[in-house]
Every structure is written in structure tokens, then in C-alpha cells.
């Protein structure tokens, strides 16, 4: 609505592409942000500004969530929250950890890498014919279906979700999340190298967009938590799983109780799975708003 209210010449018609990077990041994480950069062909300078906005607001909000963790008992009373589920969850997570955790052996690591690179290779093999099948169709090109990278992103996400319903999920006990996190940190460093803080100050309106977006998220989370009497733990960890991903959600979870850190990882992984689809859908909606604002 704010965007539509601006004069057509006040809106960069390509700004929506950059905002898809924030949408991907704040639904899932850095991996989804990088996906949106390629799917929507974001210019490097614009992408650098969006990374700066993402980092600035996401980690200010993380500081707020850590403060909430320190004051969670008082906040739970204010929200009239039912905290019995937290005690049960803490006990269950500790029991699951003790039952499934094991020292990873070479076969475990080879299976993890085989599944990861196998799914990626299969996605690359299928991406070309799938993109070619939609080439030349105007509606499909608008939805990125004719883009090879779109399929390279969507197919591994889908394969990962399908594998979670098989015995492959038992690899978590051997540290599958930690192996994935190692690759994730490489990706985060790669994305961070493209951050352009200086360019943000030439576009101060982007601070308003970031603030509005984050404020809306915070208000919705607090209102819903109050309505369903959710403990502060669920509010904070779910929020950080979206805004920060697997790198920071376990930190917020552990601030409540060390045994709850895996919950942060699980929610962040869910965010990564949804971020690909949600970021793409958000991009399509913003594309429509951009076209309407410029018409």
C-alpha cells in the first residue's frame, strides 16, 4: 500500500527484485536469500544494499529476543502463557539427544555427502529440460519457471523434504545438521562479501522499508502469542528461525535452556524449506505491485 501511494517516478521499477532477497532471508535464511538473488537476477549493487538492510534489522531484533529470553518468566506472566509444554519439551529433547546421538563414522559422512551432492547433481540434470519445457511461454517466464536456476533451487529443497520422511533422517544423530551448517557458513560468508553498507545511505527510504517490515513481524508475533497463550520461548525461537536461520536460532533457543538448542535448528531447517517457496511467492506478489505502481 505504501508503494502504490508513491508517484510512479519515485519507485525504482526493479526494486521489487532486491526485496525478494529480504523476503527469502526473513522467511528462511541466507541460503534462501542467495537463491532469490539468482532466481530474480538481482543486480549486485542492489543485492549488496539488501544484505545490509537484512543484517542491520535482523540482528537488532535478535538482541531484543535475547533480552526477552533473559526476562521470559515475567513476559510469560504478562502474556498469560501456558509454560507446561516447555518443561515437557525440554525433557523430550534431552531424551531424544541421548537416544540418537552418536560419534559419526566414515560411512555416515559419505552417505551425507552422497545424498547432498547426489540431490544437487540430479537437480542440475533436471533443471535444463524443465526450463526448456517452459521456454517461450510468457506466463511461465514471469513466474521464473523458464529459469534453470529456479529449478536448481526448488528441486533440492523438495528432495530434502522427501528424504526427511525416510531413514535418512536418522543421520541427524551422526551430526547431519553440523555438516550442513559448515556449508552454510561458507554461503553466509560469500553473501556477506557482497554487502554494501555505504550504498544504503544513498537510499535512506530502504531503512523505512526494513523497519516497517520488521515492526509488522514483531507486532503480529506478539499479538498471536498473546491470543494463543504461547510461551515466550516459542515466540522468540520461531521468530529468529525466520529472521536469522540455523546460524542464530539455536543461540536464542539455548538462551532459554541448553537442551532446547536443537529446537532452534529444527525450526530453522523448516524455515529454509519454506523460504524457497515463500520467497519466490513474495517476489511474484511484489512484481505485481511494482507493475501496478508504474501503470
Is residue 173 very low, low, confident or very high in pLDDT (cuts 50, 70, 90)? confident
**Rounded distance, CA 278 to CA 281, Å?**
5
Span 97-137, pLDDT tens digits: 777 788 889 999 999 999 999 999 999 999 999 989 988 88
Q: What is the pLDDT of residue 199?
A: 62
Q: What are the helix (H) ranges across 40-79?
A: 44-70, 72-78
For residues 256 and 233, is the Cβ–Cβ distance under 8 A? yes
**Rounded distance, CA 246 to CA 28, Å?**
9
Classify residue 114 as exposed, middle or buried by CB count within 10 Å of its CB (0-12, 13-18, 19+).
Answer: exposed
Residue 2 has pLDDT above 70, yes or no: no
Span 14-26, pLDDT tens digits: 678 888 888 888 8
DSSP state of 167: G
Q: What average pLDDT does the structure give for the chain?
A: 80
Residue 5 has pLDDT above 60, yes or no: no
Q: What is the pLDDT of residue 7?
A: 39
Q: What is the pLDDT of residue 12?
A: 58
**Rounded distance, CA 114 to CA 128, Å?**
22
Residue 192 has pLDDT above 70, yes or no: no
Q: In which region does residue 294 sit, left (phi positive, over 0), alpha (psi from -120 to 50) or beta (all else)?
A: alpha
Q: What is the pLDDT of residue 293?
A: 57
The arithmetic mean of pLDDT across residues 177-186, rounded, is: 76
What number of other Cβ atoms are within 10 A of residue 48's Cβ?
21
Span 232-253, pLDDT tens digits: 888 898 898 888 776 678 778 8
- Write out the three cell numbers for 111: 552417505
- Write out the three cell numbers for 108: 555416515
Q: CB within 8 A of 15, min separation 6: which ones? A: 46, 290
**Whole-model pTM?**
0.64
What number of other Cβ atoms are within 10 A of residue 128's Cβ?
12
Residues in the chain: 295
**Rounded distance, CA 33 to CA 27, Å?**
9
For residues 1 and 116, is the Cβ–Cβ distance under 8 A? no
Give percent of the chain with pLDDT exceeding 70. 87
What are the angstrom distances between the C-alpha of 180 and each of 31, 270, 278? 11, 14, 21
For residues 207 and 200, is the Cβ–Cβ distance under 8 A? yes
For residues 152 and 127, is the Cβ–Cβ distance under 8 A? yes
Q: What is the pLDDT of residue 178?
A: 78
Amino acid at each position: 500500500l505504501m508503494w502504490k501511494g508513491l508517484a510512479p517516478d519515485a519507485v525504482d521499477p526493479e526494486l521489487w527484485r532486491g526485496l525478494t532477497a529480504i523476503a527469502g532471508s526473513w522467511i528462511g535464511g541466507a541460503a534462501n536469500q542467495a537463491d532469490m538473488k539468482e532466481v530474480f537476477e538481482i543486480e549486485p549493487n542492489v543485492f549488496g544494499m539488501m544484505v545490509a538492510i537484512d543484517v542491520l534489522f535482523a540482528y537488532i531484533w535478535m538482541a531484543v529476543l535475547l533480552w526477552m529470553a533473559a526476562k521470559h518468566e515475567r513476559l510469560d506472566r504478562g502474556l498469560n502463557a501456558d509454560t507446561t509444554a516447555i518443561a515437557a519439551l525440554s525433557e523430550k529433547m534431552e531424551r531424544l539427544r541421548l537416544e540418537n546421538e552418536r560419534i559419526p563414522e566414515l560411512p555416515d559422512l559419505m552417505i551425507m555427502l552422497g545424498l547432498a551432492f547426489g540431490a544437487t547433481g540430479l537437480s542440475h540434470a533436471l533443471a535444463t529440460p524443465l526450463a526448456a519445457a517452459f521456454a517461450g511461454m510468457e506466463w511461465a517466464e514471469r513466474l521464473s519457471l523458464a529459469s534453470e536456476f529456479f529449478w536448481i533451487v526448488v528441486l533440492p529443497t523438495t528432495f530434502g523434504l522427501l528424504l526427511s520422511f525416510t531413514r535418512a533422517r536418522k543421520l541427524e544423530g551422526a551430526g547431519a545438521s553440523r555438516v550442513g551448517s559448515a556449508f552454510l557458513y561458507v554461503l553466509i560468508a560469500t553473501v556477506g562479501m557482497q554487502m554494501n553498507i555505504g550504498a544504503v545511505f544513498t537510499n535512506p527510504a530502504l531503512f523505512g522499508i526494513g523497519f516497517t517490515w520488521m515492526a509488522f513481524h514483531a507486532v503480529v508475533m506478539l499479538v498471536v502469542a498473546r491470543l494463543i497463550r504461547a510461551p515466550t520461548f516459542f515466540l522468540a525461537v520461531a521468530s529468529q528461525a525466520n529472521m536469522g536461520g540455523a546460524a542464530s536460532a539455536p543461540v536464542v533457543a539455548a538462551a532459554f535452556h541448553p537442551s532446547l538448542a536443537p529446537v532452534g535448528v529444527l525450526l530453522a531447517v523448516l524455515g529454509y524449506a519454506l523460504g524457497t517457496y515463500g520467497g519466490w511467492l513474495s517476489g511474484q506478489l511484489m512484481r505485481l505491485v511494482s507493475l501496478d505502481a508504474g501503470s
